[in-house]
A and B are shown apart, each in its own frame.
Chain A
């Protein structure tokens, strides 16, 4: 990275994102950009709407208004014209069914052939409905081209290149550390069902390479040699690291860390901060940190955004934010009158 990463092209742009829960406005019209290669932080007191905003960015919940663009592609927004989508589900089946009816009327097909056509119609209907449920990437992209839009789901965001960790650790506790990382590698592996059944050389090689890569990732986050321990038996700080390794396994471009230092002691926090800078400097990752604790983010952030009651109240370098009277008020309360 040369120069100030804040001058880079944005990797993610959130445009006036709003999310209401009934009467409560959890996130109110927040604009937010993340320049590529930067470390930006989102802070705010408890209940400021940080996690809600985060969940909108990740496709876990839909925004009430606004949109999120990641690497030039609109990923998250209110659904558009999804009524037409159901038309697409039934249209092929209806067309084939009509064709069959016409042919039967004209006396061209009858009896068993007609029954077969009816069966095919049914299969087409089921197939297109399944397509709508599974929503492969090409399907969503095709729909978008004709103006039908649905927000990406969490797994679509991972495929697009966004990794995340959770505020409360959500590892696969009964799996070993290395298995956790291998699950994270899901989008990077391509072995299909048939290959798994036949154990083709390709899929064997892929699995072997995956295990090697998982080892590398564990080493990177400082868990070398702990690969075979059950995730639940790891100490707290290691579990946090393992979550980061699992997120890295999907080779993300942007890593979203939700309160990574929560519950850590000062030593663990320092190690974590070092790890985060290393991820940016060595791997060229862009990082969004959500923190509740100002001390953690001040040292490493290129920019800090402060949320309070769902609204952005300040944005700037750590120093600017630290001195901002509104931020001080949000954290410490208004000065006594």
Chain B
């Protein structure tokens, strides 16, 4: 019995191994191909029966695009939490900063604050073009705030860092909420320009395709850059800091610069996601950026597999889809067949209960996430065999870390 099951799993493992090797050798191409394949399959799924019954095709496509925003967020947070090991609970702040950055440039209200007349004077087919450079500007602005948050927290780690970032994540939306004069407070900023492209003109709310395709391109580019980063000198420095900060410094890594860059680059990814999301919703308001957002992204990273960009992307996609589609569909389904008891349950209200259960189950059964990074897996599944660990370890650790 065991022998017969071992063979296929062995072959499967070997095939997976080969796939992993090829994809790491041609990283950028494998990302482009992978995203293209997924990008081609999703619309097909949205057009065939079991799925079309639940929701119309366009709504599916719209949902996939929104899921892409979360994929971007998860990739960015993975840089900070999964790779550099800096627990950031205020990630939604950078998402908000990106979104508001776009709002200032691309809405009549924002323009009046900045003292420019851009959106009102220019036709939407033209003003929407500003979306593309704004992706970069949003990334830069959010990245700058990432550095601002990073600088005072450099000495903190683990729980302490988490608390400070949590505070930052709360402060930013509250500032947007209460600075009525410049942010329009609770109502937020509306009437943002939709993105536009030279030939097809301004994107429309009725046609999800332009958004969908630009999102695919964006995800592919961000993922490619993220991989290139992690496989570079800087990425190794981050991994080293996560494993042992003192040893990293003793290897010549300027831990200060490396950590600031981790915060900045993670934040700028959120900035890009923020700009995209704002341009799609055509409105930004402080309630889009609550703690729940930070928490959800973190859950996506943890469930997907910290440290692995494909893993967290899939995690984000799956969680978003479950949250926003599956639960709704479950409601409709049980209502339709009028199943006893279950038809009275509102699954959408159970969202966080389900999250909690999923996270607990995950931590017990597969703490490294669905698609773990090989290093994480080693970390969690190897017996801790640290030969030098004796009573001197603690003595040295206290003198070395306590003094600076």
Q: How far apart are the CA atoms of A329 and B78 in the complex, in Å? A: 57
> Are B236 and A196 within 8 A (Cβ)?
no
A134 at the interface (CB under 8 A from B): yes
CB within 8 Å of A: which B233-256 residues = 233-237, 239-240, 243-244, 246-256
B382 at the interface (CB under 8 A from A): yes
Point out the residues of chain B lying under 8 angstroms from A155, CB to CB: 249-255
Query: Shortest distance in angstroms between B240's beta carbon and chain A's nearest beta carbon?
Result: 5
Query: Shortest distance in angstroms between A75's beta carbon and chain B's nearest beta carbon?
Result: 14
A-B contact pairs, 27 of them (CB 8 A): A60-B400, A60-B403, A111-B115, A129-B151, A155-B252, A168-B396, A170-B244, A170-B247, A170-B388, A171-B247, A173-B379, A173-B386, A174-B243, A174-B378, A183-B239, A183-B251, A186-B240, A187-B252, A191-B233, A196-B228, A196-B235, A197-B228, A230-B382, A232-B382, A232-B385, A236-B388, A246-B251
> Are A169 and B249 within 8 A (Cβ)?
no
> Are A183 and B237 within 8 A (Cβ)?
yes
> Are A172 and B239 within 8 A (Cβ)?
yes
> Are A167 and B247 within 8 A (Cβ)?
no
Point out the residues of chain A lying under 8 angstroms from B6, CB to CB: none
Q: How far apart are the CA atoms of A121 and B170 in the complex, in Å? A: 27
Point out the residues of chain A lying under 8 angstroms from B382, CB to CB: 230, 232-233
Point out the residues of chain B lying under 8 angstroms from A233, CB to CB: 382
Query: Shortest distance in angstroms between B60's beta carbon and chain A's nearest beta carbon?
Result: 33
Most buried by A among B147, B254, B255, B378: B254
Point out the residues of chain A lying under 8 angstroms from B255, CB to CB: 155
Point out the residues of chain B lying under 8 angstroms from A76, CB to CB: none
Q: How far apart are the CA atoms of A55 and B253 in the complex, in Å? A: 17
Q: How far apart are the CA atoms of A93 and B385 in the complex, in Å? A: 52
CB within 8 Å of A: which B322-365 residues = none
Query: Shortest distance in angstroms between B392's beta carbon and chain A's nearest beta carbon?
Result: 6
Q: How far apart are the CA atoms of A150 and B207 in the complex, in Å? A: 61
> Are A203 and B403 within 8 A (Cβ)?
no
Query: Shortest distance in angstroms between B296's beta carbon and chain A's nearest beta carbon?
Result: 27
CB within 8 Å of B: which A120-153 residues = 126, 129-130, 133-135, 153
B375 at the interface (CB under 8 A from A): yes
B4 at the interface (CB under 8 A from A): no
A158 at the interface (CB under 8 A from B): yes
Q: How far apart are the CA atoms of A193 and B239 in the complex, in Å? A: 16
Q: A170-B246, A232-B385, A247-B250 are in contact. List 7 more A-B contacts (CB 8 A).
A: A61-B399, A126-B148, A158-B251, A172-B244, A193-B229, A196-B233, A197-B228
Number of A-B contacts (CB under 8 A): 154
Main secondary structure of the interface of A (DSSP, over half): helix
Cβ contacts B384-404/A at 8 Å (1 or 0 each): 011111101100100110011
Query: Shortest distance in angstroms between A160's beta carbon and chain B's nearest beta carbon?
Result: 10
Point out the residues of chain B lying under 8 angstroms from A29, CB to CB: none
> Are A133 and B151 within 8 A (Cβ)?
yes
Point out the residues of chain B lying under 8 angstroms from A246, CB to CB: 251
B204 at the interface (CB under 8 A from A): no
> Are A172 and B386 within 8 A (Cβ)?
no
Residues of chain A touching chain B, judged by Cβ–Cβ distance below 8 Å, are 21, 51-52, 55, 58, 60-62, 111-112, 126, 129-130, 133-135, 153-155, 158-159, 164, 166-175, 179, 182-184, 186-187, 189, 191, 193, 196-197, 199, 203, 207, 230, 232-233, 236, 239, 246-247, 249-250, 262-263
Q: How far apart are the CA atoms of A21 and B403 in the complex, in Å? A: 9
Point out the residues of chain A lying under 8 angstroms from B147, CB to CB: 130
B154 at the interface (CB under 8 A from A): yes
Partner of A51, one of B225, B252, B396: B396
B257 at the interface (CB under 8 A from A): yes
Point out the residues of chain B lying under 8 angstroms from A173, CB to CB: 243, 379, 386
* A155-B253, A175-B239, A186-B236 given; A168·B247 CB < 8 A: no
Q: How far apart are the CA atoms of A153 and B229 in the complex, in Å? A: 26
> Are B387 and A236 within 8 A (Cβ)?
yes
* A175-B375, A196-B229 given; A168·B388 CB < 8 A: yes
Partner of A186, one of B151, B228, B233, B392: B233
Query: Shortest distance in angstroms between A22's beta carbon and chain B's nearest beta carbon?
Result: 12
Q: How far apart are the CA atoms of A247 and B127 in the complex, in Å? A: 55
